[in-house]
Structure 1
Amino acid sequence: MSATRVFVARLAGCAVFDPAGDRVGKVRDVLVVYRRADAPTVVGLIVEIPGKRRVFVSIGRVTSISAGQIITTGLINVRRFEQRGGEVRVIAEMLGRRVLFADGSGEAIVEDVAIEEAAPNEWQVSQLFVRRPKSGGSPFAKGTTAFVSWREVRESAVVGEAQSAEQLIATYSEMKPADLANTLLDLPQERRHEVAEELSDGRLADVLEEMPESDQVEIIGRLDDDRAADVLDQMQPDDAADLIAQLPEERGEHLLELMEPEEADDVRMLLSYAPDTAGGLMTTEPIIVSADATVAEGLALIRRHELAPAIGAAVCVTLPPFEPPTGRFLGMVHFQRMLRYPPHERLGTLLDQGLDPVTVDASAAEVSRILASYNLVSVPVVDDSHRLVGVVTIDDILDYLLPDDWRSHADDDHVSRRAAARAQLKTGSIPIQGQPQKNGRRNANGTR
C-alpha cells in the first residue's frame, strides 16, 4: 500500500477502482474510531457505488490510497452503509470541529485531517490542519493556520456548542446538487441542519429540489420564515409548489406572502391545478421569444449555464407579452433545427408544425404519450385562450411516475424501477383514477 500522507478533504469524490482498473465508485467519507491514547484509527471508507448507494469498504480491502484514486482488492460488500456506535465520519463530523491546544494557547477549527499508514493495512490520523480565530477588527483578516499532531490538541466538549459547517461546505463545494443532497441525508440530523443553515439560498434551493419531499419539509421546517421564503424564491416554481403543498396550510400561505410577488404568483398558479394534469406538472419558466428573433438570439438564450438541459432543448415562440401567460402561442423551435440554419434566420420560419401544445387540464398519461411518441424532452402547455403558460419536461413526468421514495431506494431495484417507468412512459399507462397523488397539492378549492 502507498505510504503517502493523504488529506481527507482531497479524497472526497475520488474514484475507487478494482485491480482490473474498472471503476467501482467514488469516495464520500473516511470512517475512524477513537482510541484512548493513540490517534483515531481508520477503519474504512464510505464509497458511493452506482445507484447512489453508500457502502462500507474496509481499510483491509484497500491496496492503495492517494489524492487521485483509490485501488481496492475488488471484493466489496454492497450492503448499504450504516454507521455504528463509536464510529466517526471525518468529513461529515470532524471537519469544522473546535479543538483546544493542549498547552493552553487557545482554540482552533479543524479544516482538514491527514491520515497516514502506520503499518500494513493500518491507517490512522496523523495530523490536523487547523485555523485559529482571526485577530483584529478587519473583516478581511483570517486566523493563522497550523499543522498539529493529534496529541497537541483535545476536542472541545462544550455542551450545546454547534460545530462549524463552513469547512464541510467548502469540501463539498464542487458536488452536483443531487450528490450533495444524498450526502446531507447521510449526515446526523443536527449536523444536516447546521449545514443547511450555512448554505447559500441558491445552493440550498438546488439541493432541496433533489431531496424526497419529507426531507424537504423537515429542513424547511427548521428555517425561519424569512429564510425559508428566500430559498423558495430560488427554487423552480413547480418544485416550490410541491414543497409548499406539503406544509401546513397556514405556514404555506404565510411563506407565499413573504416570497417575491412574481415568484409567488407562479407558485399560486401551479397550486391551482390538479397535480396529475399538465398544469400541475409544468414549469412556468420556458425560454420565450418573438417570431422576429433570430437563430443567433435563440442559441444565445439556451447557452445560459444555469438552464436545465430539458428547458434549453427548445424555445417557445409567441406573440407579446413574452411572460406566461403570454400572447398567442405560435410554436416551438428545437435547438437542433436552429443549428442547421444561418444566424440571421428568423425563428418564426422554423416552427415545428407537427407539434401541438397540450392544455392545462391534459392528463399526465396524455402528456407522457406525446413525449414518448414524438421523442420529445418537453411539450408546451396552453390555456383556453391558447396562451403559453409553461412546458412539461421529461423530468417532470419521471418525477411523477417514479415512486415517492425513489431517491432513497436507488439500490438493487433501481434498474427495474427505471424500466417500469420507461414502460409506463411508452404506454401512457399511468393509473390516474384512485392513485394516491405524489405531491398532495391543494386544488383551487383549497382541498388536497
Structure 2
Amino acid sequence: MSTTPNKIFIARLLGLDVFDPLGDRLGRLRDVVVLKRSFGTLGSFSFGENQKGKEPLVVGIVIEVLGKKRIFVPMTRITSIDSSQIICTGLVNLRRFEQRGSEAMVVAELFDRKVRLTDGSGEAMVEDVAMEQRRNGDWFLSELFVSRAHESGGLLRRRKDTLIIDWHEAQLSADIEPQAATAFVANHEDANPADLADAIHEMNDKRMVEIAHELQDERLADVLQELPEDDQVEILSHLDVERAAQVLEEMEADDAADLLNELSDTQREELLKLMDSEDADDVRRLLEYEEGTAGSLMNPVPIVLSPEATVAEALAHIRQEEISPALAAAVLVTRPPLETPTGKYLGMVHMQRLLRYAPSEQVGNLLDTSIEPVSDMSSLEELSRVLATYDLTIVPVVNQHDRLVGAVTIDDVLDALLPEDWRTNDDGTPIRKVGRRFE
C-alpha cells in the first residue's frame, strides 16, 4: 500500500470521504478497528512499558455508506490514506459491520479515556491517537495525543497542557474513572438529532450511556425521541432520577408518555412527581388513553389561537424555534380558554393561507371548516385515512364535548405504523440488536 505520510492522527481522518480508484465516493470514515492485545489489558487496550512492540494492530476502518449503514473495509484494501482523502480498491463487502470480541474501536473506546502516565507525572486524557505504518506494510497504533489540566498562578486558574507520548508511556488502572465522551459530542455538535441517534444506536450500551451523560438535557431529549424504546429505557435508567425528570420535561409530551409507558408504575410515578407540574399534567393526560388511539398519539400543546388573533400573531407563533415543522403547518382556532382542553373548537388555518393575507387580518375570517377534527378515541387506521384523504400533516383532536385536546401530526402516525424493525439493511433484512452487536 502506497501512503504518504506513514503516520497520521486518527481524529484528522474522521468524516473523510472514502473513494474507489475511479474517484467514486463510497462513504465516510467513522472509526478505526484494531486487534486487542490480551497481555496486561484492562478494558480493550494494553498500555505500559511491558507493551513495547505489542502495540495494537490496525485491521481496518469503518465507513458509513448510503443509508447510514456502516461497513468494514480491511486495511489490505486501502491503497492511499492521508489527511484529505482515503482511497481503497473498490472491492468492499457491503455487509453491515459487526464488531468481534477480539476487536476494539479506537474512536468509540479510546478517545476521551483517562490514562496514567508511566513517568509518574499524573493522569491525562486521550484526545487523539496516531497510527503508523511499519516497513512490512502493517499499521499499528503508535502514539497518543493527550491533555492534562493543572493549577497555575495565584488564583489557581486551571491550564491545559498537551503532549504526544508513545503508546507504552501510558497505562490504564482500575481506579481511573470511566471513559468520557467529550470528543465524540464535540465532533457531533452540529449533527441532526436523528443522525446522532443512529450513531449512538450502533454502540454498545456502556458507550451509549457515557455519551448520554455528556449531552445537555435539551440535546439528549431530542436524541432520545429518535431512538428505539429499548435504547431510551437503557439511557434513562442510568441517569439519576432528577436529571431523568428534567430530560423528560424537554421531550415532546407524547414521546415522554411513550417512554414512561415502558417503565414500571413506581418508576413512572416517581418521575412524574419530579417533573414540572404543567409538563407532568400534559403527560398524565396522554397516559390515560388506550395505546393506539388519537389521544395517546397526539401532542397536547399545538398552536391554539382565538378567532380575534391576527395573521401576524399566528406567524409569530409558527416562527418559534421549539415548534416542529409538522405542528407549524396550521394554527387551531377555538373559543377561550385556549389551553387544552380548550373552549369550543372552531376550525384550523393552514400556514400557506396565512401567508396570503395581510398581517392585520383576523384568523377567525380564514378558517378551514371543511376538515373535521377527529375524536380522541379514534383509531390509528382512522387517523391515517384522514391524513391521506385530505393531504394533511396535522389533524386536530377533540373530546366528546367538542373541545380541542391536542393534534396528531403525520410523524406521530408514521412512528406508530412502522414496525419496530423498520431500520433495515439494503437487502430488506432487519437490523436486530443482539447483545452488543447488530445483525
Q: Which residue of the other structure, out of 321, 332, 337, is the alignment partner of 2:337?
A: 321
Shift of 1:398: 0.9
Aligned counterpart, 1:345: 361
CA 1:140–1:214 in structure 2 vs 1: closer, same or farther (change >3 Å)?
farther
Shift of 1:256: 1.0
Aligned counterpart, 2:373: 357
CA shift digits 1:123-147 (9 cap, x unpaired): 4435432111332596963421223
- The CA distance in 1 between the partners of 2:228 and 2:336, in whole Å, is 38
- The CA distance in 2 between the partners of 1:118 and 1:319, in whole Å, is 76
Q: Which residue of the other structure, out of 30, 33, 36, is the alignment partner of 2:35?
A: 33
- Structure 1 stretch displaced more, 181-190 or 390-399: 181-190
Q: Which residue of the other structure, out of 118, 129, 138, is the alignment partner of 1:102?
A: 118
Aligned counterpart, 1:185: 201
- Secondary structure class of the residue paired with 2:186: helix
- Structure 1 stretch displaced more, 4-13 or 109-118: 4-13
Q: Does 1:150 align with 2:151?
A: no
CA 1:343–1:25 in structure 2 vs 1: closer, same or farther (change >3 Å)?
farther
CA 1:135–1:376 in structure 2 vs 1: closer, same or farther (change >3 Å)?
same
- The amino acid of 1:3's aligned partner reads T
- Secondary structure class of the residue paired with 1:168: helix
Shift of 1:6: 4.7
CA shift digits 1:296-318 (9 cap, x unpaired): 33333323334322122222222
- Secondary structure class of the residue paired with 1:406: coil
CA shift digits 1:237-275 (9 cap, x unpaired): 111111111111111111111111111111111111111
Q: Does 1:224 align with 2:240?
A: yes
- The amino acid of 1:141's aligned partner reads R
Contact 2:114/2:177 (CA < 8 Å) preserved in 1? no
Shift of 1:288: 2.1
Aligned counterpart, 1:443: none
Unaligned runs of 5+ in 2: 38-50, 431-439
CA shift digits 1:297-341 (9 cap, x unpaired): 333332333432212222222222322222222222222222333
Contact 2:151/2:157 (CA < 8 Å) preserved in 1? no
Shift of 1:74: 2.7
- The amino acid of 2:162's aligned partner reads T
Aligned counterpart, 1:406: 422
Aligned counterpart, 1:299: 315
Contact 2:116/2:173 (CA < 8 Å) preserved in 1? no
Q: Which residue of the other structure, out of 193, 211, 221, is the alignment partner of 2:227?
A: 211
- Secondary structure class of the residue paired with 2:158: coil
- The CA distance in 2 between the partners of 1:68 and 1:388, in whole Å, is 56
Output aligned runs, 1:124-143, within 5 Å: 124-136=140-152, 141-143=158-160
Aligned counterpart, 2:435: none
Contact 2:205/2:234 (CA < 8 Å) preserved in 1? no
Q: Which residue of the other structure, out of 7, 10, 13, is the alignment partner of 1:8?
A: 10
- The amino acid of 2:129's aligned partner reads V
CA shift digits 1:390-442 (9 cap, x unpaired): 111111111111112324x4553179xxxxxxxxxxxxxxxxxxxxxxxxxxx
CA 1:249–1:34 in structure 2 vs 1: closer, same or farther (change >3 Å)?
closer
- Secondary structure class of the residue paired with 2:93: coil
Shift of 1:293: 3.0
- Structure 1 stretch displaced more, 196-205 or 262-271: 196-205
Tell me the TM-score normalized by structure 2: 0.85
- Secondary structure class of the residue paired with 2:299: coil
CA 1:19–1:227 in structure 2 vs 1: closer, same or farther (change >3 Å)?
same
Output aligned runs, 1:12-411, within 5 Å: 12-33=14-35, 36=51, 37=53, 39-67=55-83, 69-116=85-132, 122-136=138-152, 141-151=158-168, 153-158=169-174, 161-407=177-423, 409=424, 411=426
- The CA distance in 1 between the partners of 2:269 and 2:230, in whole Å, is 19
Contact 1:107/1:133 (CA < 8 Å) preserved in 2? no
Tell me the TM-score normalized by structure 1: 0.83
- Secondary structure class of the residue paired with 1:218: helix
Shift of 1:64: 4.2
- Secondary structure class of the residue paired with 1:223: coil
- Structure 1 stretch displaced more, 327-336 or 137-146: 137-146
CA 1:175–1:142 in structure 2 vs 1: closer, same or farther (change >3 Å)?
farther
CA 1:20–1:315 in structure 2 vs 1: closer, same or farther (change >3 Å)?
farther
Shift of 1:381: 0.8
Shift of 1:34: 5.2
Shift of 1:164: 2.2
- The CA distance in 2 between the partners of 1:12 and 1:390, in whole Å, is 43
CA 1:268–1:127 in structure 2 vs 1: closer, same or farther (change >3 Å)?
same
Aligned counterpart, 1:446: none
- Secondary structure class of the residue paired with 1:362: coil
- Structure 1 stretch displaced more, 28-37 or 268-277: 28-37
Contact 1:278/1:381 (CA < 8 Å) preserved in 2? yes
**Aligned residues, how many?**
413
Over the matched positions of the two proteins, sequence identity in percent amounts to: 51
Shift of 1:368: 0.2
- The CA distance in 1 between the partners of 2:370 and 2:84, in whole Å, is 50
CA 1:123–1:262 in structure 2 vs 1: closer, same or farther (change >3 Å)?
same
Shift of 1:216: 1.4
Shift of 1:217: 1.5
- The amino acid of 2:114's aligned partner reads R
- The amino acid of 1:96's aligned partner reads D
